[in-house]
């Protein structure tokens, strides 16, 4: 629960876009993930404690992306 889920979530966005031609949904996934970073959240492998970023577990980060995505769709 320490690895960042960015690559897996990004892979899902690419799959939606490239394999299923669901461009709008793929953009929403990217936007949701970016909004989590912009809100000041990250995972320990991408940011250092004390950098003003709230460090989340993989699960917490994924949950925030899902919450953000829910608001976009």
Rounded to two decimals, the pTM is 0.88
Which is nearest to 43 in space by CA: 8, 11, 15, 14? 8
Residues contacting residue 29 through CB under 8 Å, at least 6 positions apart = 9, 12, 13, 16, 65, 69
**Could you read off the pLDDT of 21-43 as tens digits, one per residue?**
999 999 999 999 999 999 999 98
Is the pLDDT at 68 greater than 90? The verdict is yes
Q: How far apart are the C-alpha atoms of 27 and 59, rounded to whole Å? A: 22
| Three-class secondary structure of residue 56 per DSSP | strand
Q: Read off the pLDDT band of 48 (50, 70, 90).
A: confident
Instruction: Check: CB of residue 5 under 8 Å from CB of residue 17.
Output: no
């Amino acid at each position: 629960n320490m690895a960042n889920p960015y690559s897996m979530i990004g892979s899902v966005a690419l799959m939606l876009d490239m394999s299923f031609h669901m461009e709008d949904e793929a953009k929403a996934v990217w936007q949701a993930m970016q909004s989590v970073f912009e809100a000041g959240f990250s995972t320990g492998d991408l940011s250092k404690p004390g950098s003003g970023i709230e460090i989340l577990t993989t699960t917490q980060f994924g949950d925030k992306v899902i919450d953000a995505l829910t608001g976009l769709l």
